[in-house]
Amino acid sequence: MQEAIKLSELSSCEVAVIGAGIGGYGAAIRAAHLGKNVTIIEKGNVGGTCLNLGCIPTKSLLVTAHLLNKIKQSEDLGVTVGEVTVDFKKMIDRKDAIVSRLNNGVRYLLKKNKIRLVEGDGRLISKDRIRVKRADGREEDIVTDYVIIASGSEPNVPSNISVDRKKVITTDEALGLITPPETMAIIGGEVMGVEFAEIYNALGTEVKILEKTPNLVPSLDADLGKGLQTILKRRGIGIHINADVDSVEVETDGKVSLKAPEQLHLRVDKVLLALERRPFTEGLGLENIGVQLRDGFIAVDEHMRTNVPHVYAVGDVAGGKMFAHVALAEGLVAAENVAGKDLVMDYKVIPTCVYTSPEIGSVGLSEEEAVKLGHTVSIGKFPYMANGKALTLGEREGFVKMVADKNTDEILGVHILGPNATDMISEAAIAMRLECTSEELGRAIHPHPTLSEAIMEAALAVSGKAVHI
């Protein structure tokens, strides 16, 4: 007979959520709105990766980087600036204060919605029972009707690279450095890679990006990567494409040696791994209830249900687009379905944002994807150098590119490299959601002078009707 485990507590709820990131706490709050008794379990800080180690802290540091880059243009704007110094500690303190404030905000929302927060490591014992081990060693079993797994993701470390968290670091450690290094190599030219490159380049670090594909931000339209590469190179960031790193070694003098094909050999102070993240599934007890995985991620259907009845999964652990806004949308869908609704996730219109300077905003199909899917495409492209507002801002680099189906004029994708692109892309997302054609969007009157006129002009350019080019 198996020895009974001594438990300090036993509790029950209708919905138990594992993970208090945006997907998890979003699901918990929506379930509570729908009248459910909800418990949420979190082993770290509430808010998850985005709030604590991703979106929010990096954007805080990028604000300073953007300001430093803007100061370099100040004389063009008629302002002469003296010697500029950076207080790196103040940057970090500001970042930490913002994270702390938002952290407390999430806790307040959970409390306001009468959601019980249990701080500890949750593990599924059965499909209706979760065992939580707290930091003080105490254990609690939570009996529940429904489970929503929102355990998130963690940095991905290739098998051929040893991470010591000091010289060879992940994005987690990059947010906690005491001083900027003199030299840094960033492995990975996707969203996080180019954002960290901009941060440290602005702070005076000699930065080199190594990307194994032929283009930066390879998940997006190729024109965006090419345009961003030109801009970053001009700022002094070294970019090596088609560079799949063979080895990383910390040498006796403290330098880190990197080797890649074509005789590429670098010696730097820090190596930052900025690769795609991997789902956090270890220790969740998925094997205890037979939850199926797909390529390491929890397999879910369009309702966010796993193969196990009453068990759902949302956010990074469920794969797909690993963005905070997607995790939130999935969490809301899961919560609605737990409450008896019949909602499905629609992944057709999901914006991607890159917070470099200039920014990138992208939604829908790239030109390459549209062609592969069999569309005959029409392209409309409008450069910011022909936009009055962009010129007044001193932000003439970049463009708006629209991809439309040549036969139906349906907008298939919109891709922006330019100022405020991450805010502007929402207009394109709404237009696509409502199945707007490029002609309809081009006929919508946009105020002048604004950056948004570039979207209108790109829409008009699809049929060769743009006015200002």
Domain ranges of the chain: 9-155+279-338, 168-273, 358-461
Verify whether residue 448 is a known catalytic residue.
Answer: yes
- pLDDT the model gives residue 158: 87
Smallest CA-to-CA distance from 193 within 180, 184, 204, 203 is with 184
Q: In what order do the strands lie in the sheet with 183-187?
A: 168-170, 270-273, 183-187, 206-211, 238-241
Two domains, one topology: 9-155+279-338 and 168-273? yes
CB of 273 closer than 8 Å to CB of 212: no
Structure tokens at 184: 């840094």
Superfamily name with CATH number, domain 168-273 = FAD/NAD(P)-binding domain (3.50.50.60)
- pLDDT the model gives residue 8: 56
Q: Report in angstroms the alpha-carbon separations of 143 from 6, 149, 263, 264, 297.
A: 16, 15, 58, 56, 25
Smallest CA-to-CA distance from 457 within 396, 393, 394, 388 is with 388
153-154 vs 256-260, strand pairing mode: unpaired
- pLDDT the model gives residue 4: 45
CB of 289 closer than 8 Å to CB of 126: yes
- Say how far apart CA 66 and CA 385 lie, in whole Å: 20
- pLDDT the model gives residue 187: 96
- Say how far apart CA 418 and CA 63 lie, in whole Å: 16
CB of 139 closer than 8 Å to CB of 131: yes
Q: pLDDT digit of tens for each residue in the chain (469 aa)?
A: 344 445 457 899 999 999 999 999 999 999 999 999 999 999 999 999 999 999 999 999 999 999 999 998 899 889 999 999 999 999 999 999 999 999 999 999 999 999 999 999 999 999 999 999 998 889 999 999 999 999 999 998 888 888 999 999 999 999 989 999 999 999 999 999 999 999 999 999 999 999 999 999 999 999 999 999 999 999 999 999 999 898 898 988 888 988 887 678 899 999 999 998 999 999 999 999 999 999 999 999 999 999 999 999 999 999 989 999 999 999 999 999 999 999 999 999 999 999 999 999 999 999 999 999 999 999 999 999 999 999 999 999 999 999 999 999 999 999 999 999 999 999 999 999 999 999 999 999 999 999 999 999 999 999 999 999 8
Which CATH architecture is the domain 9-155+279-338 placed in? Answer: 3-Layer(bba) Sandwich (3.50)
Query: Cα-flanking dihedrals φ and ψ of residue 302, to 5°?
Result: -70, -10
Q: Which CATH number describes the domain made up of 358-461?
A: 3.30.390.30
- pLDDT the model gives residue 6: 52
- pLDDT the model gives residue 160: 84
Residue 453 neighbours by CB distance under 10 Å? 22
CA 187 and chain centroid, separation? 17
User: Which one of 240, 265, 448, 468 is the catalytic residue?
Assistant: 448
